[in-house]
Structure 1
Amino acid sequence: MDEQTIDLRMIRTYHFLSDALFELVLKKPFEEITVTDICKKAMVHRTTFYKHFEDKYQLLETMFSEEQRKFIELHIEEGETEQEYYRRIIRQMFEYASKYKDFFVQSTSHIKNDFMAYLLKNTVSTYLNRCFHMDEKRLGIPSPVPIAIMSEYYTGAAIALIMWWLQNGMRTSIDQMVDYMSFMIVW
Structure 2
Amino acid sequence: MNMKSLHTQQQIEEALFSLLQKKPYAEISIAEITRKAHVSRTSFYRNYSQKNDVLTLFLANQYKKFIVDINEHKLKTLTKQLIAYLTFFKENPKVMKILLDAGFEGSLLNFQTRYLKKLLGVYHPDLNLPDYAVAYQSGGIYMLLIWWVKQDYQTPLEDLINYAEKHIML
Give TM class, smaller chain.
Answer: 0.7 to 0.9
The residue aligned with 1:88 is 80
- The whole-number CA distance in structure 2 between the counterparts of 1:118 and 1:182 is 24
- The whole-number CA distance in structure 2 between the counterparts of 1:136 and 1:106 is 32
TM superposition shift of 1:110: 4.5
TM superposition shift of 1:100: 3.3
**Larger Rg: 1 or 2?**
1
Match for 1:168: what amino acid?
A: Q
Match for 1:97: what amino acid?
A: F
TM superposition shift of 1:135: 4.9
2:141 aligned to 155, 158, 177, which one?
158
- CA separation of 1:76/1:155 partners in 2, compared to 1, >3 Å: closer, same or farther? farther
- The whole-number CA distance in structure 1 between the counterparts of 2:5 and 2:120 is 34
- The whole-number CA distance in structure 1 between the counterparts of 2:38 and 2:72 is 41
- 1:124-147 deviations in Å (ceiling 9; x for gaps): 11121012223553x3xx63x51x
TM (norm. structure 2) is 0.85
Residues 1:62 and 2:54 aligned together: no
Aligned residues: 169
Match for 1:108: what amino acid?
A: L
Runs of 4+ in structure 1 deviating by more than 3 angstroms, as ranges, are 75-78
SS at match of 2:2: helix
The residue aligned with 1:3 is none
2:11 aligned to 12, 16, 21, which one?
16
Percent identity, aligned pairs only?
21
TM superposition shift of 1:176: 2.8
Q: Give me the CA root mean square deviation.
A: 2.5
Which runs of no fewer than 5 residues in structure 2 stay unpaired?
none
The residue aligned with 1:131 is 119
